[in-house]
Amino acid sequence: MVLDREIARDQGRLAGIAAAESLGAIDEAAADARRLEIRPSTVAAMPKEVHKLWNRWLSSSGNAGGQEIFACSCEEVTRAEVSELQPPRYLRWESEQMSRRNLQTQLKDNPVNPNQIKRLTRAGTGICQGRQCREQVAMILSDQSDLDLSEVPLMTYRAPVRPLPLNVMWPDDEPESVRNEWPKWFSPTSKVLG
């Protein structure tokens, strides 16, 4: 990690300019002029949009590890399996009909939908509930569909997103009579003894 107070200062100023621009305090031309005042090399090295940075990351990770990098670590779904719409290997499920389908044929038939990809590949259904992979799946969809990343919806989280205690969903305790009669309800003789 490089610790450089000049870079930190420049990045702080860039963040301030971006905040002012997004809040409408300055227009785009003024924001661009202020960015150039900072240091041209710093500004040129940074993408204007975060999605461009994400796309560079996707390209770099693909170049480093190819299509066998996990898009979803929890379910061990590779980028190739997302592109080919294949279920995870551990299911050992093969279908001639599905082998003719891939992300390109899916995109011709339907609009881009990460939730459909989740159902077909299990990417995003693991223990993290998509918190680690939903952006990467969206980037893969954006890359292969030629849509801007901002146009690709993120897959939804699996509900409940976090475990909930039952008293949050139903804050009232059961009546005393229910508590006392509870064992009878599930007894094999409950219908007979009433």
**Domain-by-domain residue ranges, the chain?**
5-46, 51-151
**Which of the two residues, 120 and 44, has the higher pLDDT score?**
120
**Which of the two residues, 126 and 194, has the higher pLDDT score?**
126
Task: Quote the pLDDT of residue 87.
Answer: 75
Helical (H) or strand (E) element with 153:
none
Angle, vertex CA 50, rays to CA 46 and CA 52, nearest 5: 75
pTM confidence score? 0.54
Banded pLDDT at 126 (limits 50, 70, 90):
confident
Q: Is pLDDT at 187 greater than 70 in this prediction?
A: no
Average pLDDT over residues 111-136: 85
Task: Quote the pLDDT of residue 188.
Answer: 57
Task: Quote the pLDDT of residue 192.
Answer: 52
Task: Quote the pLDDT of residue 191.
Answer: 52
Q: What is the dihedral of CA 124, 130, 133, 138, to 10 degrees?
A: 80
Write the pLDDT tens digit of every residue in 128-147: 888 888 888 998 888 888 88
- In percent, the amount of the chain with pLDDT more than 90 equals 7
Strand, helix or coil for residue 122: coil
Task: Quote the pLDDT of residue 122.
Answer: 87
Q: Is pLDDT at 169 greater than 50 in this prediction?
A: yes
Average pLDDT over residues 84-109: 76
Average pLDDT over residues 121-132: 85
**Alpha-carbon distance 188 to 135, whole Å?**
50
Quote the tokens at residue 59: 């390209």
Name residue, tokens 């279920």. Answer: 87
**Alpha-carbon distance 121 to 45, whole Å?**
36
Write the pLDDT tens digit of every residue in 19-59: 999 999 999 999 989 988 886 655 555 555 667 777 777 78
Q: Is pLDDT at 1 greater than 50 in this prediction?
A: no
Mean pLDDT of the chain: 78
